[in-house]
Amino acid sequence: MLILKPRSNKIETLRKNQEITSPTIILVDEDGKSLGEVSIDQALYLAYDKGLDLVEVGSNARPPICKLINYGKYLYEFEKKQKKQKAKTKIGEVKEIQLSLKIHQHDIQTKAHQAIRFLDEGNKVKVSLLLVGREVVYLGKAKEMIEKFAHEIGGQLEQPMQKLGKKIFTTIIKNRDSKNA
């Protein structure tokens, strides 16, 4: 049987039925009630009689602790729980906003509202500014525009601005000092 250890991603296998090697075990029934220390043969007979599996849940104890459970059902519920936990964890996506040096103030405000919505949803915002033609000369103006945009949406630069060809870009995350956070 597979069990995911808490606080780690390591999976360990649990021994069941004939894989248990200890001559005596502490037996716990399907309701969680302890039946005390019994021999392995007696526990296997009891498990077979009830149509359940004998699974070693506490291998570090002496004698080991074993439980009577439906192994297939337990695996199914365990996998179902893992999928549910995986679905709950949301990895923030990177949403992109494109600007230009010739953009109108109203368009900047519209894109700022979009970026604020993205940040509130837990995403990162990649802001890119394409320099067309002779605009390449105004690199400082472009960086200033991106910084102003980041300040306007209440975000902070996650990484310094980078230039790749005629494009300047950076990633903005939600400002932790912001009152909206």
Do residue 105 and residue 57 come from a single domain? no
Strand pairing partners for 66? 27, 56
Domain that holds residue 37: 2-88
CA distance 154 to 37: 64
Per-residue pLDDT, 97: 93
| H-assigned helices in the chain | 40-50, 71-88, 105-120, 139-152
Whichever domain contains 133, its CATH number is: 3.30.110.10
pLDDT of residue 109: 93
From 65, 88, 111, the end of a domain falls on 88
DSSP conformational letter for 78? H
pLDDT tens, position by position, 64-83: 888 888 888 888 888 888 88
Spatial distance between the Cα atoms of 175 and 145, rounded to a whole number of angstroms: 18
Q: Is a pLDDT exceeding 80 seen at residue 14? A: no
In a domain, 156, yes or no: yes
Judge whether 180 lies within some domain.
Answer: no
Weakest-pLDDT range from 4-18, 20-34, 60-74, 154-168: 4-18
**Cis peptide leading into residue 23 (ω within 30°):** no
Cα 130 vs. chain centroid, distance in angstroms? 34
Name the domain count of the chain.
2
pTM over 0.85? The answer is no
